[in-house]
Structure 1
Amino acid sequence: MKTLVPFVSLTRRGVLSVGLLSVLVTAAGADTLAAAETSEVRQALMTNQHVEVFAKYCLDCHSTDASEAGVDLEGLPLTVSQDIATANMWQKVLNAINSGEMPPEDSEPMTDADKAMFLEALTDQMVIARKILGDSGGVIPLRRLNRREYENTVESLLGVRPDVSSLPDDQVGAGFDTQGASLFFSSDQLENYLETAKAALRLCLIPAEATASKTRRVEPETKQNEAYQKYLDMLLDQYERSLAWQAQDEKPPSEFGILDEYQAKKNLSQYQDWSPQLKEYLQRPETKTGVTLMMTIKAGGYTTVKLPTLFDSAPGKYTIRLRAAHYPGTESRFHYVELSSGYASSKKRVAWRKVTATLDEPEILTFEFDHKPGQREQLWLHQRTHQDRADKNLWTIHQKENGLGTPPGVWIDWAEVSGPEPDLAPTEAAQRILFERPEGVEEDRYAVEVLRRFAVRAFRGTPPDREFLKQLFGHYDANRKAGQTLVEALIDPLAITLSSPQFLYMVEEDREDTRQLSDTELAVRLSYLIWSSQPDDELIRVAMSGQLSDPAMLDQQLTRMLADAQHSHFVRDFVHQWLSMERLGMFQFDGVQFRSFDNATRENAREEIYQLFMHVMHESLPLGDLLKADYVVVNDVMADYYGLDPVQGHEFRKVPLPAGSPRGGLLGTAAVSAMGSDGLRSSPVERGAWVLRHLLNDPPAPAPPNVPQLGRLAGEVLSARELQKAHQEEPQCAQCHRKIDPIGYGLENFDVDGMWRNKEKITTGKARRKKIHQFDISPSGQLPDGTPFASYFELRDAISTRQDDFARGFTEALIAYGLGRPYGFTDQDLADQILSAAKAKNYSVRAFLDAFVHSRSFQSR
């Protein structure tokens, strides 16, 4: 079988055209192998009992003789997994019955019992059929680097992180972004890759003149006091003009600078509501020498300290220092200073620091910021926010309570920015690319050697062929003759190298049969598994010596790579996709109902998951600690959020839990609770499905199309359990909800934001008509295997006993992520081998990785 892969065709005139490189992908014998193995595994079958129901309701209209609408179901094979066409037809049957389209209204209706039995059976068989028919037969497809791998790889070569905003984001609907079949490439992307590479090369090879490091201090009180005084004066002026107009009857409002009566009332109201906070702020003695961080109702929303701009010509590492103190008695989350970058609503949260000192003895806090080449950054200091309407809504609530608004949390005396300390990575990369020309070597010969050496590194140890190198030199030569400097002339051919298939694709030589990877190919596969980037010099050196395939050397290199900071790419990229953590950023959470679940909490809750996994991995703890543990891995933000003993510092660390705590393990994290919601209400079905999919390795079937709306319940306020029970009344929904919902009920003591609750509260209406409805929570239920539980704690205990199922799901995900294709039934033996090896070592993460990288599948093509 052949796969066509776009590539760059080079001409001496410097013109880029899109051609096709025919790359052989091993497929000989794959169909035969798949067929042989399929016969040994369970098939997706409909039984005679199901056929009787099918015949009773469907074949009168869709038989060979009748064939209404051209649909003949009489000859439809009962082996659902027989082939794609058969499975597709069964899927249409499932969809038609699920949606209520079939049987039609003028036919005999299906009884609820028949419908539930038939749909449950067919749904289960479709799950099996998808696994069988979606299996790759063990073939690992040729794949290009996904966007994050491309970023990491270019940065490893150039010391500059490229701007990849014009490149495909490679977000897949299911599975991992390493799946070769999902990593498409079109001809119009070539120019984007080329321009992206050129921009990064210019930053590396033609850097701006180094900027001397210096310290710039900001004394923010002058501008802030001036701005608030100006705003207060404006409110007062509008107030006085409105009063003056109301005090007479002769002149129109326009002579007082007022539009109409509505504006006059608004001016009076705003001054009465907003001015007390501004007056109180300006009267504070500490605001004469610094600024108080607080939420305001004015434009901007909250007090900020604008730091000196970091220009694109001055990249490097910067240190931000500030002298600060907190106000006792205010909400603890306002005792944090937030550092953000950007402008307006596009600000990015960078980091947080907790202020523990009081006004009588302020402290010095420090942030570090890595300013990338070619970028312009505006940094800000402010309090923690939701950065949406919730902040202003909360201010209004507080204003009605205290007459002033949200109480302030932090005072900042001054702030300063020091830097840049030069980032040596681009300089070192440039020196390596443009190595010192040996004495007596001509310029053209030097240029060829620069291109050759760079191509070897870019192609991950594989030398470029002579014709490719010749064409690269043609581009260089044309640029040189056009008057460009040597360095400028090299940028085009170097960019072409970074846009070629040998760089963009993880190229492995194809043969007609399965073969052992070469050591350099194994190095590439290993480095992209652990680092999401290309092999470093050490790994290439070992591979080139032929030693990497030696088990002892492979162990040594894996240990070295897991000790390198780059291994965090595996943790973040794999764990994020494995646990479907994209849901954490999908919804806007109600900031009034869930006041503490602000941006800081959400971002640190996400980081908590990564840090928990990293702790389990580095400490050689059993994977089961992700199911239940007597500790959490948190920083000060999350320790405060969970109400644990105070934790000093923003670094994550292991913290023991008190007896009876609902925390410990994934189920007790705020992130998992939040992902099982829509930002307003918890969702038992989302939570139950997540547990089945990720903890029990028993994924439910996909939701049917055209799920019927429960119109009869419109306007009613129901508890989560009542709402889900209503769904179970529909036969097409019941078979899945009976399996999913009970698990979700067991997690209902966690609110949307992951905080513990004893009552489910639902808010309806707005403003003065707002009403809060409360429902008792009944967390009892059972797992699909019949194991009962009466509470969240019993549910967690029951799930923690299923470590083997959890480990199998983890293994299947690791195989899919590492081999770049969906897990299939032909991977069963590989999964069994990995599990056996890992179980013997207490299911440590390292044991899974060891068994995987040593496996024949990982080391074969």
Structure 2
Amino acid sequence: MIHWTLNSIEMTRRTQIVIASLIALIAIPNLAQADLGILKQHCSACHTGPNPEGDFSLHDLRKSPDQKNLAHWVESLQRVRDGEMPPAEENKMTRQEVAELQQFLQKQIVLFEERVEQPLQTPPRRLNNREFENSVRDVLSLDHIGTHDPLAMLPGDTLHDGFDTHGESLGMSEFHLDQQVTAIRRVLDNVILSDEQPTSQQLTATADQMFVVDTDNRRRGDKTIRRDDGVELKDPEDQLYCENFPHTKSAGWYRITVKAKALDRHVYSQDKTGIYDDDPLILRMELGSRHVDLPLDEGAMQEFTATHWLAENTPIRFSFQTDGLRLIGNGNFKFQHRIAHDYIKTHDPDLYQRIVKEEVPNAKSRSTQPSHWVHWVPYWQGPRPLLSSVEIEGPFYQSWPPQRQVDLVGRQPTVANAAAILKPIAQRAWRRDVSDQELAPIIRLVESQSSSLGELGAIREGIVALFVSPSFLMLNSEDVTPEELFAVKFSYLLGSTTPDADLIARVRKGELDSFGAVRDELKRRIANGKANAFLREFPYGWLELDRINFMSPDVDQYPLYEKKRLNEDMVNEVLALFRHVAENNRPLPELLSGDYSFVNADLAKVYGLEGVPSDSVLRKVTFGDGKRGGLLGAAAFLTLTADTLSTSPIHRAVFVMENFMGIHPSPPPADVEILEPDVRSARTIREVLDAHKSDASCAACHLNIDPFGYAFENFDPVGAWRDEYIDVSQRADADEAGNSKKRRDRTPSFEAIPIDASSTFVSGAQYKDITEFRQLMQSDSSRDRFVRCFVTKVLTYANGIEPENFTEVESIVKQSASHDYNSIETLAAIIHSPLFRECKTSESER
């Protein structure tokens, strides 16, 4: 988690034991004399005796790596590699001694892992909700599970460090199972139709049959704005429905034809409306829980026709989809009408005078101010869609029963051939071969239900039983072969869904047994869209982008964030950056500190960029100032690590350490008492932290953490650049006699305080600003640390558990390095690694 208090990041056993771990090696009797000498010479003075520095004794590490202290050995090695141990100001080790110590630490870790032979396991876990949805869709060979939102009742998944694939967090209860049964039945309601074929009809809704409601479905009289050629949609909060076709009466195919056009695209300035001149207007057709966006360009009426499979009782609504029209006042659309006042006053003074003299005095509104929005509602000419007509034909079918039902259960399914019907469904659902013996209980269920439900209804219940079986609901179970497990893991990693028949067949033939074959398959799946789930869900979870609005920037200080929905642009920037690196097989370190990103006109305002086209399209932009680019300059990272009105180098430091560098500072032990200093005179966060570090036990921890955060202090809570803090205080003015005025007469005083974004790492590496910090993050050590962290995060996402095998992770990083850290080769190395491929071991084998 990133929102830490100062106390929660103090010196802890896990952090300081890194130092003590080096000293503990003295106790190993068989060490080479040179290693022992290095440790005694450079470490024992501070970490032996009754009061060792950091209050850590050598006894804490025992004599060698074991299951409990292995992580400390690994962290010790990393800190020696990075030059953080011993601290720079006390380090008298030669390069040869550092190299020998690194070699020794790594050798001891490897020897331990070879001796213990830790199981390379993938523990079973429940399908998360999106995997559940995707898998049901693909097992039933559907394009979507239904427009009636059949999974709406499923309990939400618990995230662990941003991921929804963590095994221990994906709980399962009787209530959860009940909801899954209900969800499956609702999906099948949209697939297996047992009644007579519904009659098709064709309806056309023109302006007289269209009505506008707001989002809570209140008509408030009739707020519909009708014209001879259609109905206008002004407020983005409104929805339009057709009174003669409020929803579907039966599941089936529906052909929908919409005629619409954009109105008044360029009357008002885009700076006033917040809708860019180069963006089309988006008329959104909402088909129950799904939607289709129709782009409207200025000019003649446009016609859109498409055919959709809609579930029974699917409502059809239309709305104006935009992040504009919210820039005035508190963002409520009604204040947009003030633009009409300003525009008419400037461009049509005669009309303005008539309205002010004749209409304003006689208005029902209590306001007599000419500029009040209520007087200008009829005269507003902002961009908006006009819906002329909606024609709906359906439901219709190419055959009866529908072909997708025939493909699933046959044209005339019977209980007698239930096994033949259900077995292929079971094999897709259970992601493996299914024996007749395994299927037998479900066949008996079908037979027992046929008298009450009929043959089709009984087979439908058999399908429900297949989906609520542990073989479907649980991943990585022990009843699969190594080949089946690999196919399942590969498919769920990239597509979050069940493996297709082609992938299973290729894995069984051994066609994906080599690194090169995995790499080529990975390239194909990225190119053909079968890795889209990974390209979105992994970076979204890795960077905890769901938390971006946890403490949203203050709307008064940063109005564009809410009024232009900047959080969506920020998230999409990061996803576009990740997709670009993957699709173009770019080196992974470009993700962290490359000199480019993807920006649209709204983000350009935050970043202070000139020359970005005036639209909402994200385009690749190269930054030439060394301050931005990659994740370190992304507004999403800078915003989700800030507070509502301020920034904290601690929040940002901890995020960088945990998510980019793989460093995990821990909260202090419960028995450590922290006495907070008096910080009332502090004006900046640095002064607060400096006072806090007056406590020696606090200072040691902050020396490790703070340098990862100070570099970002030039970025405000929305990621915009600033050179100064603005300190606002109350100044009491004096009267002519020199006496201070009363408190109510005090006026605010603004003081600009220059920002100090410099710091020094424990290793001695220094930076004076974000540019030099970014350069440090491009060093060999930081590059390897970032790639190692990335590898660990992907394995955690894939396996549902963080990898603990140091040797295998190092092997992946080494293989990545041999391919210039390119993204596809690194991902292929992860997938080909035993940490991904190996079967779960049973308890008896551990």
Q: Which interval holds the TM-score relative to the shorter structure?
A: 0.5 to 0.7
Q: Distance in 2 between matches of 1:544 and 1:328?
A: 63
Q: Which residue of 1 aligns with 2:173?
A: 186
Q: Distance in 1 between matches of 2:628 and 2:578?
A: 15
Q: Which residue of 1 aligns with 2:240?
A: 306
Structure 1 position 638, deviation (Å): 3.8
- Note closer, same or farther for the CA distance 1:387–1:203 as it changes in structure 2 (3 Å cut): farther
- Note closer, same or farther for the CA distance 1:550–1:787 as it changes in structure 2 (3 Å cut): closer
Taking only aligned residues, the RMSD between alpha carbons, in angstroms, comes to: 5.3
Query: Matches of residues 739-750 of structure 1 in structure 2 within 5 Å?
Result: 739-750=704-715
Report Cα offsets for 1:635-689 as digits up to 9, x if no partner: 4554565445344765544x23353274321122211111111232222111111
The equivalent position to 1:521 in structure 2, one of 477, 480, 485, is 485
Structure 1 position 181, deviation (Å): 3.5
- Note closer, same or farther for the CA distance 1:573–1:712 as it changes in structure 2 (3 Å cut): same
Which residue identity does 1:455 align to in structure 2?
A: A
- Note closer, same or farther for the CA distance 1:456–1:171 as it changes in structure 2 (3 Å cut): same
Structure 2 unmatched ranges of 5 or more: 1-29, 36-42, 71-107, 343-369, 731-743, 840-846
The equivalent position to 1:170 in structure 2, one of 132, 143, 157, is 157
The equivalent position to 1:145 in structure 2, one of 127, 134, 157, is 127
Which residue identity does 1:755 align to in structure 2?
A: A
Structure 1 position 723, deviation (Å): 3.0
Query: Matches of residues 372-411 of structure 1 in structure 2 within 5 Å?
Result: 373=311, 376=315, 378-381=317-320, 384=323, 390-391=330-331, 403-404=371-372, 410-411=382-383
Q: Distance in 2 between matches of 1:82 and 1:836?
A: 23
Structure 1 position 156, deviation (Å): 1.3
Which residue identity does 2:496 align to in structure 1?
A: S
The equivalent position to 1:666 in structure 2, one of 627, 631, 635, is 631
- Note closer, same or farther for the CA distance 1:169–1:79 as it changes in structure 2 (3 Å cut): farther
Structure 1 position 356, deviation (Å): 8.7
- Is the counterpart of residue 607 in structure 1 residue 572 in structure 2? yes
- Note closer, same or farther for the CA distance 1:538–1:760 as it changes in structure 2 (3 Å cut): same
Once the two structures are overlaid, the 10-residue window that deviates more, 849-858 or 629-638, is 629-638
Contact 1:319 1:366 in 2 (8 A): yes
- Is the counterpart of residue 806 in structure 1 residue 786 in structure 2? yes
Report Cα offsets for 1:552-585 as digits up to 9, x if no partner: 6544433332233231111222112222223213
- Is the counterpart of residue 481 in structure 1 residue 468 in structure 2? no
Q: Distance in 1 between matches of 2:303 and 2:692?
A: 53
Report Cα offsets for 1:93-121 as digits up to 9, x if no partner: xxxxxxxxxxxxxxxxxxxxxxxxxxxxx
- Note closer, same or farther for the CA distance 1:54–1:334 as it changes in structure 2 (3 Å cut): same
Structure 1 position 845, deviation (Å): 1.3
Q: Distance in 2 between matches of 1:490 and 1:461?
A: 21
The equivalent position to 2:498 in structure 1, one of 534, 545, 560, is 534
TM normalised by structure 2 equals 0.68
Q: Distance in 1 between matches of 2:161 and 2:635?
A: 24
Q: Which residue of 1 aligns with 2:269?
A: 329
SS of alignment partner, residue 716 of structure 2: coil
The equivalent position to 2:559 in structure 1, one of 595, 598, 607, is 595
Report Cα offsets for 1:59-97 as digits up to 9, x if no partner: xxxxxxxxxxxxxx999856499999999xxxxxxxxxx
Q: Which residue of 1 aligns with 2:405?
A: 430
- Note closer, same or farther for the CA distance 1:650–1:365 as it changes in structure 2 (3 Å cut): farther
Q: Percent identity?
A: 22
- Is the counterpart of residue 645 in structure 1 residue 611 in structure 2? yes
Q: Distance in 1 between matches of 2:676 and 2:209?
A: 56
Report Cα offsets for 1:791-818 as digits up to 9, x if no partner: 2222222213332221111111122222
Contact 2:423 2:439 in 1 (8 A): yes
- Is the counterpart of residue 154 in structure 1 residue 136 in structure 2? yes
Structure 1 position 499, deviation (Å): 0.7
SS of alignment partner, residue 410 of structure 1: coil
Q: Distance in 1 between matches of 2:798 and 2:837?
A: 11
Query: Matches of residues 559-570 of structure 1 in structure 2 within 5 Å?
Result: 559-570=523-534
Report Cα offsets for 1:721-778 as digits up to 9, x if no partner: 2333333234443333333333322112211112222223467899998776643222
SS of alignment partner, residue 306 of structure 1: strand
- Note closer, same or farther for the CA distance 1:684–1:372 as it changes in structure 2 (3 Å cut): farther
Q: Distance in 1 between matches of 2:305 and 2:690?
A: 51
TM normalised by structure 1 equals 0.66
The equivalent position to 2:387 in structure 1, one of 415, 427, 430, is 415
The equivalent position to 1:632 in structure 2, one of 577, 580, 597, is 597
Q: Distance in 2 between matches of 1:287 and 1:759?
A: 57
- Is the counterpart of residue 815 in structure 1 residue 795 in structure 2? yes
Q: Distance in 1 between matches of 2:642 and 2:404?
A: 46
Query: Matches of residues 152-551 of structure 1 in structure 2 within 5 Å?
Result: 152-158=134-140, 159=142, 160-161=144-145, 163-174=150-161, 176-206=163-193, 209=198, 216=205, 293=234, 304=238, 306=240, 308=242, 311=247, 313=249, 321-324=260-263, 325-331=265-271, 334-335=274-275, 373=311, 376=315, 378-381=317-320, 384=323, 390-391=330-331, 403-404=371-372, 410-412=382-384, 414-415=386-387, 429-436=404-411, 443-466=414-437, 468-482=438-452, 484-509=453-478, 518-545=482-509, 547-549=511-513
Contact 2:48 2:58 in 1 (8 A): no
Q: Distance in 2 between matches of 1:502 and 1:591?
A: 49
- Is the counterpart of residue 572 in structure 1 residue 506 in structure 2? no
Query: Matches of residues 753-792 of structure 1 in structure 2 within 5 Å?
Result: 753-761=718-726, 774-792=752-770
Q: Distance in 2 between matches of 1:703 and 1:342?
A: 51
SS of alignment partner, residue 274 of structure 2: helix
Contact 2:657 2:663 in 1 (8 A): yes
Q: Distance in 1 between matches of 2:600 and 2:788?
A: 31
Structure 1 unmatched ranges of 5 or more: 1-38, 59-72, 88-127, 233-277, 295-301, 512-516
Query: Matches of residues 39-188 of structure 1 in structure 2 within 5 Å?
Result: 52=49, 79=62, 137-158=119-140, 159=142, 160-161=144-145, 163-174=150-161, 176-188=163-175
Q: Distance in 2 between matches of 1:804 and 1:55?
A: 32
Q: Which residue of 1 aligns with 2:74?
A: none
Q: Which residue of 1 aligns with 2:13?
A: none
Q: Distance in 2 between matches of 1:367 and 1:760?
A: 55
The equivalent position to 1:726 in structure 2, one of 667, 687, 691, is 691
Larger RCO: 1 or 2 (CA < 8 Å, sep 6+): 2
- Note closer, same or farther for the CA distance 1:710–1:462 as it changes in structure 2 (3 Å cut): same
Q: Distance in 1 between matches of 2:397 and 2:727?
A: 55
